[in-house]
Structure 1
Amino acid sequence: MDDGALRAYATWSDIGASQRATEFRSYTFNIAEARYVMRRVTRIINEEAKKRGFDPLQHQALLQTYGIRDGEQLTISGLGERLDVPAAFASRLVRKLESEGYVTRMHSERDKRVTFVQATDAGVQVLREIDEQVHRHVAYFQHSLSEHQRIAALSIFAFYVGIDAESPIAEALREGRIQPENV
């Protein structure tokens, strides 16, 4: 990996204006790589969802509904927040998914104004089918990326989610030791 990408990666957080100016080219390269990866993967996901009759936001709504932590419940307004759409629009997405049998809605026992949404077995099954195809296509795409491109994209993702540059995760990323179970 070249020194520019490593330097930009190692200093992604809390850098001063003068350092930002000297690292701007490498930083911009990293942003471009991250956006390239996000765009390609998003396109792959959206195409697979469309093959099964989902528009991209419907698929994302189903994914967010099923992808919550065990023991937690997702409200319609929470879904709207996760999708970055108004709650009323999230409600329409849920209504469509419910009519297809992919989710169910339940009113809160404590507050009848609160509605929870949960994926059905049919919803989970279609998510698995989409993911299986996505996994295959993304694996193919991954082989086209160089190590330099991977580190560049990871540096921006780390910045986006606020990983401290001195954290064990950042150190593992810089040293190429990162594994999903370490995160």
Structure 2
Amino acid sequence: MQPLKRFTQCGSLTMLFGVFIILFGVSSTALTTFGKTNNQPPPTQGPIIKGRECNTNDDCSTTERTSCVKDPSDFKMRCLCGDDTPPSSGVCLDVLKGLRHRCHSNHECEDGMVCQFENTNRTIGVSKFMSSKTKLCLCDNDNGYVEDILHDICSGANQQYAVSLLISICTLLAPFLFSAHMSMRKHF
């Protein structure tokens, strides 16, 4: 038994020594980079790309998938893609369109919006000069979504999210509450 005992002790020491080598090897490479100065120059930023300024959606007809909407960075009217970004090399990605973007069907608009002609009687926001001949992604008023002019979004989604969340929680808890009620009923 004595040789076996020595062998296991040596094996443990060898394994422990191997772990120390691995840990020291990893930490020593990390320590060699600590304190070194960065000799690389900082990356240069390219020019900030903005969409072309516009007054109506007709001004944006030369660039596909753009609409004349308010730029979130400087609040100027510009030809922007559906996600309110400027076109990259004159091309927009095929994304869901945000508030007041040109559209052909409801499937092109974000959740809580419908593709419809603008009610020309309204005079809030930018709607007073937009053409009523063009369908736009607008807030779905029939389902409780209302245009928030300050943030340029459709509000009401938070209320529906809260209701959906409450229903989901109640659905998950119902079996537990029912079984607790039944077990308490057996005891009394």
With the shorter chain as reference, the TM-score category is under 0.3
The structure where strand makes up a greater share of residues is 2
Higher relative helix content: 1
Greater relative CO (CA pairs within 8 A, separation 6+): 1
TM-score between the two structures when normalised by the length of structure 1: 0.23
Q: Which has the larger radius of gyration?
A: 2
TM-score (norm 2): 0.23
